[in-house]
Amino acid sequence: MNNKKPVTAIIVGAGHRSMFYSLLADEEPELLRIVGVADPDPVKRRLAAEKFNMPEDMIFNSAEELAEKPKIADVIINGTMDKDHVPTAVPLLSRGYDMLLEKPFALNETEMKLLYDTAKKHKNIVFVCHVLRYAPFYRAIFERLPEIGDIINIQLTEHVSYHHLVVSYVRGKWKSEAECGAGMLTAKCCHDLDLLMWFAGKAKPTYVASFGTDVAFSPDKIPAGAGTRCLVDCKIEADCPYSAKKHYIDHPDRWKFYVWDCFSGQNPTLDDKINSLKSDNPYGLCVYRCGHDVVDHQSVLITFDTGMTATLNMIGGASKAERNIHIIGTKGEIKGVFDDSIFAVRKINQSPSCTRYYDEEIVDLKIGGDKSGMSGGHGGGDLLLVRDFIAAVRGEATSPCAPSLPVSVLSHLTAFRAEKARKTNSVVPITDGFDF
Contact 256, 268 (CB under 8 A): no
CB contact set of 155 (below 8 Å; sequence gap of 6+):
310, 311, 324, 325, 326, 327
Sheet-wide strand order for 75-78: 59-60, 32-38, 7-12, 75-78, 98-101, 126-128
Query: Where are the domain boundaries for CATH 3.30.360.10 in the chain?
Result: 133-218+293-374+402-429
Sign for the pseudo-dihedral over CA of 231, 235, 236, 242: negative
Please give the backbone phi and psi of residue 53, each rounded to the nearest 5 degrees, phi first: 55, 55
**Tens-place pLDDT, residues 335-392:** 999 999 999 999 998 888 877 888 999 999 987 654 433 344 555 678 899 999 999 9
The stretch 178-184 carries a mean pLDDT of: 85
**Tens-place pLDDT, residues 55-92:** 999 999 999 999 999 999 999 999 998 999 999 999 99
User: Residue 305: what residue type?
Assistant: D
User: Residue 263: what residue type?
Assistant: F
Contact 67, 91 (CB under 8 A): yes
Cα separation, 413 vs 342, whole angstroms: 31
Mean of pLDDT over the chain = 92
The stretch 179-186 carries a mean pLDDT of: 86
CB contact set of 364 (below 8 Å; sequence gap of 6+):
341, 342
Cα separation, 116 vs 409, whole angstroms: 8
pLDDT recorded at residue 181: 82
Cα separation, 311 vs 357, whole angstroms: 26
Cα separation, 52 vs 376, whole angstroms: 19
CB contact set of 127 (below 8 Å; sequence gap of 6+):
99, 100, 101, 385, 388, 389, 392, 402, 403
pLDDT recorded at residue 232: 96
The distance of Cα 374 from the centroid of its chain, to the nearest Å, equals 19
Residue 436 has pLDDT above 80, yes or no: no
Q: Kindly provide the b/e burial profile for residues 275-300, where b requires at least 16 CB atoms within 10 angstroms of the residue's own CB.
A: ebbeeebbbbbbbbebebebbbbbbb
Share of the chain above pLDDT 70, in %: 96
H or E element that contains 177 = helix 177-180
pLDDT recorded at residue 357: 87
Count other C-beta atoms under 10 Å from residue 267's C-beta: 7
Domain spanning 7-128, CATH class = alpha beta
pLDDT recorded at residue 379: 55
The stretch 15-28 carries a mean pLDDT of: 92
The stretch 155-173 carries a mean pLDDT of: 95
What's the CA angle centered on 410, arms 338 and 215, to 5 degrees? 60
pLDDT recorded at residue 75: 98
User: Residue 168: what residue type?
Assistant: S
Residue 32, strand partner residues: 7
Query: Where are the domain boundaries for CATH 3.40.50.720 in the chain?
Result: 7-128
Cα separation, 385 vs 323, whole angstroms: 20
The stretch 244-263 carries a mean pLDDT of: 90
Please give the backbone phi and psi of residue 290, each rounded to the nearest 5 degrees, phi first: -105, 0
Give the Å distances, CA to CA, from 361 to 150, 332, 334, 368: 19, 11, 10, 18
The stretch 17-44 carries a mean pLDDT of: 94
Count other C-beta atoms under 10 Å from residue 229's C-beta: 18
Domain spanning 133-218+293-374+402-429, CATH class = alpha beta
The stretch 296-301 carries a mean pLDDT of: 96
Residue 34, strand partner residues: 9
Contact 216, 296 (CB under 8 A): yes
Cα separation, 210 vs 298, whole angstroms: 7
pLDDT band at 407 (very low <50, low <70, confident <90, very high): very high
Please tell me the pTM assigned to this model.
0.90
Share of the chain above pLDDT 90, in %: 80
